[in-house]
């Protein structure tokens, strides 16, 4: 597993340990003196990036597990309390949630690199198979982790995916019952998934160890696909590969930090900020983006069992690549036809991902069937056929010759490939967004003080919004995740401790039991949460025509709309994520006394141009002059809506200002660090190139 090593420690204690357990010699030979091909490009840094991401996911996951409650009644609330009350809990949650997407992004790049450069060919068959096993374990771990927040998409995703096993003849129903721990997705399911989600990453780490071992036994591949023939072909792993990997990781972390600090919900689903409700099915049940190509394959086949077999076969076929592609030339760099078909395959996977996010109807299903055939044809027909008929270009005599043959112009295709992958990723995410879009009127965008990388909450707007909530919204809607003490937290409305106590005392809180075993009411305290206007959901429904008013703590993140192509790409760079507040303003200002001609509204409903379906049970809540502002701000519906939307955005994201401030500091550090790593890498590699 290690390279040549004659390392001998100088300290007597280390010598004593080394004679009994030569761990330092092992580490030195494996990660310092290990010979690395000189011609490795930046695509090889994704192996180190994946190692870093695995450690990050395990560390953040273990800490989150200390605060998480795997109970169907408490899981959703426990996740929110982690974000709100645990020190830097928002950072841990964002790192873990966005880290899952970044982990899969890196693993897909790593896998496509292996496909392009023939990393599955002799003598690296076991190395490749172990990689496929890691991928399967990652998919299982990611799916189970997605269920844990116990939001709407979590619950229904678990229901749909686990139901697939019922297609297996004879034992399918028993497998589903075992997964569920009963006859429907519920608390036993959540406990099973939590246990497995906690354990599987350590199993992944073990298989990664075998993967690295197999890599060191077989030796690293390289872009030329030729074997190491002399010392001129290699450089020591440290400092050459370690510095190059450090630079690659630092650049990757800049992208990762963009999601953590500025776009934490860009890759998520607004429905998952709604607590799981078995009685309400989301309009579109769509998995996370990294499952979409296989989801498209599943839905493209009308027979349930055949679809499940095709979906799993799309992954299992990767195991047999070493025997499907028997060409002697490893790298597509020297195989013109294989190179063209490879890029067609990449496009096929991206399009399958797009189709997996669309409704399973019409042209989308037909296109998915065609692309499913193309997917399997690439492995089962194209690869074996090209192995026999293609004439490759001449290979360099050695890795050293390949390095000497390179020119500065060779870097251009790699840059263009990165740009192409970023655009393709944007299309994939955009496809996932458009699947959730309904043909509704989009609320107009508002101007928000908290928008952008330097955005902050308007303290006056927060206090006015709280006043609107107290006098109007609180008659029907709860705010159960906000405690009175939060009103005095940094980044919030800015109330003093005395003001917070005074505001809390205005409310009556039900407490008890007392010494006589009876419940009683007392004045509110800063530690109390805003009380609900109704004792239970049934009472709320009865008082509101059968529709329970939603809790407003997360409404600014639980409601959204899709802006479509190409805006979702621009949104990534402009950091636009104010759909929720725009939606709230749209709903509050979108009531019309009479519906348009030809539109029928059910009895007991009201027409709202921005509400999905336009029929809303809530009557128009605001009117001009309804709330009097102490600061002289206009007493108009538009002002009320803007202020209460600002307040509800703070209720959903109370740590937003801290997040953006820390994000700017992290960005400055990472950019400087990446620059230092780049120039260090240039100096270290000067002689090697």
User: Is residue 436's pLDDT more than 50?
Assistant: no
Give domain status of residue 516, yes or no. no
User: Is residue 574's pLDDT more than 50?
Assistant: yes
Instruction: Write the CA distances from 465 to 252, 445, 650, integer angstroms.
Output: 39, 19, 10
| 481 close to 84: Cβ distance less than 8 angstroms | yes
| 30 close to 3: Cβ distance less than 8 angstroms | yes
Q: Is the peptide bond before 472 cis (omega within 30 degrees of 0)?
A: no
Q: Tell me what pLDDT residue 310 has.
A: 96
What's the whole-model pTM score? 0.91
Count of structural domains within the chain: 2
Q: What average pLDDT does this structure show over 204-225?
A: 94
Q: Tell me what pLDDT residue 425 has.
A: 55
Give domain status of residue 551, yes or no. yes
Portion of the chain with pLDDT greater than 70, in percent: 94
* d(C-alpha 358, C-alpha 590), whole Å: 28
Give domain status of residue 592, yes or no. yes
Q: What average pLDDT does this structure show over 474-493?
A: 95
Q: Tell me what pLDDT residue 176 has.
A: 95
Flag the least confident range among 154-168, 384-398, 488-502, 592-606: 592-606
Give domain status of residue 142, yes or no. no
Q: What average pLDDT does this structure show over 22-43?
A: 89
What the block records as the tokens of 26 is: 């092992």
Which of these, 149, 151, 153, lies nearest to 79 by C-alpha position?
A: 149
| 79 close to 276: Cβ distance less than 8 angstroms | no
Q: What average pLDDT does this structure show over 516-530?
A: 93
Q: Tell me what pLDDT residue 410 has.
A: 45
Residues 6 or more apart whose CB falls under 8 angstroms from that of 588 comprise: 621, 622, 637, 640, 641, 644, 645
Q: Tell me what pLDDT residue 492 has.
A: 95
Give domain status of residue 382, yes or no. no
Which of these, 172, 168, 143, 173, lies nearest to 158 by C-alpha position?
A: 143
What counts of helices (H) and strands (E) characterise the chain?
26, 6
Q: Tell me what pLDDT residue 412 has.
A: 42
pLDDT in tens, 274-300: 999 998 998 888 899 999 999 999 999
Q: Tell me what pLDDT residue 427 has.
A: 54
Q: What average pLDDT does this structure show over 658-670?
A: 97
pLDDT in tens, 153-165: 999 999 999 999 9
Q: What average pLDDT does this structure show over 517-527?
A: 93
pLDDT in tens, 379-424: 999 999 999 999 999 999 888 888 777 644 444 444 555 555 555 5
Alpha-carbon dihedral 531, 535, 537, 542, rounded to 10 degrees: -120
| 595 close to 614: Cβ distance less than 8 angstroms | yes
Instruction: Write the CA distances from 158 to 97, 185, 312, 517, integer angstroms.
Output: 17, 7, 17, 41
Q: Tell me what pLDDT residue 25 has.
A: 84
Q: Tell me what pLDDT residue 649 has.
A: 97
Q: Tell me what pLDDT residue 551 has.
A: 95
Q: Tell me what pLDDT residue 567 has.
A: 81
User: Is residue 4's pLDDT more than 60?
Assistant: no
Q: Tell me what pLDDT residue 409 has.
A: 41
| CATH code of 574's domain | 1.10.760.10
List the domain range (segments joined by +) for residue 28: 1-33
User: Is residue 37's pLDDT more than 70?
Assistant: yes
Give domain status of residue 453, yes or no. no
Give domain status of residue 474, yes or no. yes
Give domain status of residue 64, yes or no. no
């Amino acid at each position: 597993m290690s390279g040549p090593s004659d390392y001998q420690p100088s300290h007597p204690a280390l010598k004593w340990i080394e004679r009994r357990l030569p761990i330092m010699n092992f580490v030195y030979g494996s990660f310092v003196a290990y010979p690395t091909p000189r011609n490795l490009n930046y695509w090889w840094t994704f192996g180190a990036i994946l190692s870093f991401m695995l450690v990050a996911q395990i560390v953040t996951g273990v800490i989150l597990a200390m605060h998480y409650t795997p109970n169907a009644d408490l899981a959703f609330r426990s996740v929110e309390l982690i974000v709100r009350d645990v020190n830097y809990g928002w950072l841990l949650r964002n790192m873990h949630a966005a880290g899952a997407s970044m982990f899969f992004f890196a693993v897909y790049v790593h896998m496509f690199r292996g496909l392009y450069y023939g990393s599955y060919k002799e003598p690296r068959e076991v190395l490749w198979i172990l990689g496929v096993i890691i991928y399967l374990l990652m998919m299982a771990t990611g799916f189970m982790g997605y269920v844990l927040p116990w939001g709407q998409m979590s619950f229904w995703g678990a229901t749909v995916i686990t139901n697939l096993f019922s297609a297996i003849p004879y034992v399918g129903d028993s497998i589903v019952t075992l997964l569920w721990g009963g006859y429907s997705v519920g608390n036993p399911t959540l406990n099973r998934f939590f246990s497995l989600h906690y354990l599987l990453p350590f199993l992944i780490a073990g298989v990664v160890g075998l993967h690295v071992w197999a890599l060191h036994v077989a030796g690293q591949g390289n872009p030329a696909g030729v074997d190491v023939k002399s010392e001129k072909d290699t450089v020591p792993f440290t400092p050459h590969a370690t510095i190059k990997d450090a630079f690659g990781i630092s650049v990757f972390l800049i992208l990762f930090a963009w999601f953590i600090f500025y776009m934490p919900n860009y890759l998520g689903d607004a429905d998952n900020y709604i607590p799981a409700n078995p009685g309400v099915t989301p309009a579109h049940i769509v998995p996370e983006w990294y499952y979409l190509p296989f989801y498209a394959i599943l839905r493209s086949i009308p027979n349930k069992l055949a679809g499940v077999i095709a979906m799993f076969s799309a992954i299992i076929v990767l195991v047999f690549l070493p025997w499907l592609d028997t060409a002697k030339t490893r790298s597509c760099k020297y195989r013109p036809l294989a190179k063209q078909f490879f890029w067609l395959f990449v496009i096929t996977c991206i399009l399958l991902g797009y189709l997996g996010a669309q409704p399973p109807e019409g042209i989308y299903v037909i296109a998915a069937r065609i692309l499913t055939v193309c997917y399997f044809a690439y492995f089962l027909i194209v690869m074996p056929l090209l192995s026999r008929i293609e004439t490759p270009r001449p290979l360099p005599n050695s890795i050293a010759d390949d390095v000497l043959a390179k020119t500065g112009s060779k870097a251009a295709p790699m840059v263009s490939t990165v740009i192409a992958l970023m655009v393709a990723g944007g299309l994939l995410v955009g496809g996932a967004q458009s699947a959730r879009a309904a043909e509704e009127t989009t609320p107009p965008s508002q101007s928000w003080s908290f928008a952008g990388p330097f955005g902050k909450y308007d303290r006056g707007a927060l206090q006015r919004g709280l006043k609107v909530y107290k006098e109007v919204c609180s008659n029907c809607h709860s705010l159960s995740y906000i405690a009175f003490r939060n009103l005095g937290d940094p980044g919030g409305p800015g109330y003093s401790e005395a003001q917070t106590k005074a505001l809390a005392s205005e409310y009556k809180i039900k407490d008890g039991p007392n010494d006589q075993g009876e419940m009683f009411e007392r004045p509110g305290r800063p530690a109390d949460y805003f009380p609900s206007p109704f004792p239970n959901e049934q009472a709320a429904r009865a008082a509101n025509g059968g529709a329970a008013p939603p809790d407003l703590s997360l409404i600014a993140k639980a409601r959204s709309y899709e802006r479509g192509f190409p805006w979702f790409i621009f949104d990534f760079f402009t950091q636009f994520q104010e759909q929720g507040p725009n939606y709230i303003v749209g709903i509050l200002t979108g009531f019309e006394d009479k519906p348009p001609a030809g539109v029928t509204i059910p009895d007991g409903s009201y027409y709202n141009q921005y509400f999905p379906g336009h029929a809303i049970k809530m009557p128009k809540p605001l009117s001009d002059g309804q709330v009097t502002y102490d600061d002289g701000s206009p007493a108009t519906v538009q002002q009320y809506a803007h202020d209460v939307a600002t307040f509800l955005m703070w209720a959903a994201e109370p740590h937003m200002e801290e997040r953006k401030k820390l994000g700017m500091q992290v960005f400055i550090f990472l950019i400087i660090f990446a620059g230092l790593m780049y120039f260090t890498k240039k100096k270290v590699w000067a002689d090697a190139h």
